[in-house]
Amino acid sequence: MSSPSRALLLDAGFASLPFLDVLRQHGYRTAVCGSKTQDPGHRFADDSSPVNYGDVQQVIDLCREWGISALLPGVTDVSYLTGSRVAEQLGFSGFDTPDVADTLFQKDQFRQWAQANHFPVPAAVQQLSESNGLSLPLIVKPVDAYSGLGITHISEREQLAAAFLAAQQASRSGEALIEQFINGTLHSHSAFIRKGEIVCEFYVDEFCTVYPWQVNSSSLTTQLSRTLQDRVSDCLATLTSQLNLCDGLLHTQFMTDGNDFWLIELTRRCPGDLYSRLISLSTGVPYSSHFVAPFINIDDHFDQRRPVRQRFIARHTVSVAEATRFAGFHFAALPAKILDVIPLKLPGDALEAAPRDRAGLVFAECDSLTRLAQLTPHLNQYLNPPMQQERKS
The sign of the torsion formed by the CA atoms of 44, 45, 46, 47 equals negative
Q: What is the pLDDT of residue 383?
A: 87
CB 88 within 8 A of CB 98: yes
DSSP E strands: which ranges in the chain? Answer: 6-10, 29-33, 47-49, 70-73, 124-125, 138-142, 152-154, 176-180, 185-194, 197-207, 217-220, 248-256, 261-267, 312-318, 324-325, 337-343, 350-351, 360-366
Residue ranges in 172-324 assigned as alpha helix (H)? 226-243, 275-283, 287-292
Q: What topology is assigned to 6-92 in CATH? A: Rossmann fold (3.40.50)
CA pair distance 230, 213, nearest whole angstrom = 26
pTM: 0.94
Number of C-beta neighbours around residue 54 at 10 A: 16
pLDDT by position in tens, the chain (length 393): 467 899 999 999 999 999 999 999 999 999 999 999 999 999 999 999 999 999 999 999 999 999 999 999 999 999 999 999 999 999 999 999 999 999 999 988 999 999 999 999 999 999 998 999 999 999 999 988 777 889 999 999 999 999 999 999 999 889 999 999 999 999 999 999 999 999 999 999 999 999 999 999 999 999 999 999 999 999 999 999 999 999 999 999 999 999 999 999 999 999 999 999 999 999 999 999 999 999 999 999 999 999 999 999 999 999 999 999 998 888 888 999 999 999 999 999 999 999 999 999 999 999 999 999 999 999 999 987 445 444 433
Q: Answer whether 343's CB lies under 8 Å from 359's CB.
A: yes
191: nearest Cα among 128, 285, 107, 84: 285
Topology of domain 185-392 in CATH is D-amino Acid Aminotransferase; Chain A, domain 1 (3.30.470)
**Range list for CATH 3.40.50.20 in the chain:** 6-92
The count of residues in the chain is 393
CATH of 123-180, one of 1.20.1740.10, 3.30.1490.20, 3.40.47.10, 2.70.40.10: 3.30.1490.20
Which are the contacts of 360, defined by CB distance < 8 A and separation ≥ 6?
317, 318, 329, 341, 342, 343, 344, 345
Q: How far is CA 249 from CA 67, 83, 189, 290, 294, in A?
A: 26, 14, 10, 8, 9
Q: CATH 3.30.1490.20 residue ranges in the chain? A: 123-180
DSSP reduced 3-state for 101? helix
- 57 exposure class (CB count in 10 Å sphere: 0-12, 13-18, 19+): exposed
Residue 393's pLDDT is: 39
Residue 117 exposure: Cα atoms within 13 Å on the Cβ side: 16
* 203 strand-pairing partners: 189
- The CA angle 326-337-275, to the nearest 5 degrees, is 65
Sign of CA dihedral 162, 167, 171, 176: negative
Q: What is the CA radius of gyration of the chain?
A: 21
Q: Where are the CATH 3.30.470.20 domain residues in the chain?
A: 185-392
Give the C-alpha separation, 48 to 166, whole Å.
35
Asked whether 152 and 139 are in contact (CB, 8 A), the reply is yes
